[in-house]
């Protein structure tokens, strides 16, 4: 009962604030996010002159100032947030400008999303893409040069951190890089549940949190079928040298009529994977060496030469991390 009262108080605070203040995130929302440990994604496409070209509010003005006010509220309440930047015609050639801006603003958790024009409800309709794979690939390469920072990255960029996880023999957390689409629930405001926000369609509805148990939703046959979408990769992917990093990308970007075609951004991925390989390997080796030294300095015995390496590569120690010592 007390919890319900608390929720009602929050609800009335945030809804009143929304009515009286046009800024989407105000101090009450920020306090609410802090209270319930939210990690917030903030859409920001770069500095004002870039952001305001496309992100227009009902009053016809750009939303940049409101977004920055919202970010200030998040900072004031120490709510963790990531900047989500959609990459489109107006910023795809401005990697340095974007990175300089984010650095100046001290935004250190960044995600880039290539612009796709589609409706999640129209799952059978191919998206329209606003940038070419070559443009996106070049953008990622330019950003990588800044992120790399002489082998000591100090900004979190989700795409590169997921790549690095693969070099460290870990499973990436970003769905596009994984072997299977992860089990995630996307909830609509009426409680309807779907497996991915690109698939908000009756054919993919796996229940409703108001009427179905979580167990039933997670065991729904549609969810089981959905999980087979990503591993059915085209033959070209099966022989691709970057398969471990990419796993065929996102099924929503594949052409349903040509299942043997690779996903739309394939060339972008090949560009970036090729371009960064040596430097990623260097960062991964440094981290592996640090971890091994920490392990040995903690008093654990050095593995035998023919023992399986501790880093998870599956190789013998002598063929792997021993060479880093
Ligand atoms: S880079 Fe292209 S060919 Fe290689 S796995 Fe990814 S989508 Fe397939
Ligand atoms: S369909 Fe694409 S966006 Fe959706 S979970 Fe799978 S990889 Fe991620």
In sequence order, what are the beta bridge partners of 41? 82
Best mutation site among 179, 233, 234, 266 for ligand 1, i.e. most ligand atoms within 8 A of its Cβ? 266
The helices-and-strands tally (H runs, E runs) of the chain is 12, 9
Residue 1: the pLDDT is: 62
Determine the distance separating the centroid of ligand 2 and the alpha carbon of 197, expressed in angstroms: 8
Q: Which of 176, 207, 215 is nearest to 190 (CA)?
A: 207
Determine the distance separating the centroid of ligand 2 and the alpha carbon of 178, expressed in angstroms: 9
Binding site membership of 137 for ligand 1 (Cβ less than 6 Å): no
If phi > 0 it is left, if psi is from -120 to 50 it is alpha, else beta; for residue 99 that is alpha
State the closest ligand 1 atom to the C-alpha of 246, by its place in the atom list counted from 1.
6
Residue 17: the pLDDT is: 61
Determine the distance separating the centroid of ligand 1 and the alpha carbon of 190, expressed in angstroms: 37
Residue 180: the pLDDT is: 92
Residue 116: the pLDDT is: 87
Binding site membership of 266 for ligand 1 (Cβ less than 6 Å): yes
Residue 57: the pLDDT is: 87
Determine the distance separating the centroid of ligand 2 and the alpha carbon of 238, expressed in angstroms: 19
Task: Record the pTM.
Answer: 0.90
Determine the distance separating the centroid of ligand 2 and the alpha carbon of 273, expressed in angstroms: 20
Closest residue by CA, ligand 1 atom 6: 248
Q: How far is the C-alpha of 273 from the C-alpha of 275, rounded, in Å?
A: 6
The string of pLDDT tens digits covering residues 224-268 is 999 988 888 999 999 999 999 999 999 989 887 888 899 999 999
In sequence order, what are the beta bridge partners of 84? 43, 111
If phi > 0 it is left, if psi is from -120 to 50 it is alpha, else beta; for residue 267 that is alpha
Query: Which residues contact ligand 2 via a Cβ below 6 A?
Result: 175-176, 181, 196, 198, 230, 250-252
Q: Are 139 and 87 in contact (CB under 8 A)?
A: yes
Residue 7: the pLDDT is: 72
Closest residue by CA, ligand 1 atom 3: 237
Binding site membership of 272 for ligand 1 (Cβ less than 6 Å): no
Tell me which residues of the chain have a pLDDT lower than 50: none
Residue 174: the pLDDT is: 93
Which residues are part of the catalytic machinery?
A: 197
Write the DSSP assignment of 76-92 as a string of letters.
HTT--EEEEEEE-TTTT
């Amino acid at each position: 009962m007390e919890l319900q009262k608390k929720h009602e108080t929050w609800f009335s605070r945030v809804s009143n604030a929304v009515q009286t203040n046009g800024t989407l995130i105000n101090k009450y929302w920020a306090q609410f996010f802090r209270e319930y440990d939210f990690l917030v994604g903030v859409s920001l496409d770069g500095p004002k002159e870039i952001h305001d070209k496309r992100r227009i509010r009902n009053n016809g003005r750009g939303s940049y100032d409101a977004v920055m006010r919202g970010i200030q509220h998040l900072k004031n309440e120490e709510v963790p947030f990531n900047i989500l930047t959609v990459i489109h015609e107006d910023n795809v050639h401005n990697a340095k400008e974007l990175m300089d801006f984010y650095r100046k603003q001290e935004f250190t958790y960044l995600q880039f999303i290539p612009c796709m024009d589609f409706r999640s409800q129209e799952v059978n309709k191919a998206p329209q893409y606003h940038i070419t794979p070559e443009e996106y690939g070049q953008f990622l390469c330019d950003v990588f040069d800044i992120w790399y920072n002489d082998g000591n990255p100090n900004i979190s960029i989700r795409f590169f951190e997921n790549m690095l996880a693969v070099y460290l023999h870990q499973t990436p957390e970003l769905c596009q890089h994984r072997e299977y689409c992860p089990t995630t629930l996307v909830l609509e405001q009426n409680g309807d549940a779907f497996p991915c926000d690109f698939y908000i369609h009756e054919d993919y509805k796996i229940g409703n949190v108001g009427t179905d148990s979580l167990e039933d939703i997670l065991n729904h046959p549609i969810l089981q079928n959905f999980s087979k979408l990503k591993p059915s990769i085209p033959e070209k992917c099966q022989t691709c040298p970057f398969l471990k990093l990419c796993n065929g990308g996102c099924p929503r970007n594949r052409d349903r009529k040509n299942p043997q075609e690779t996903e739309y951004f394939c060339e972008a991925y090949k560009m970036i994977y090729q371009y960064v390989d040596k430097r990623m390997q260097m960062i991964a080796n440094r981290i592996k060496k640090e971890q091994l030294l920490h392990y040995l300095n903690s008093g654990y015995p050095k593995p035998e030469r023919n023992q399986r390496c501790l880093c998870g590569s599956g190789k013998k120690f002598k063929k792997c991390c021993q060479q880093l010592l």
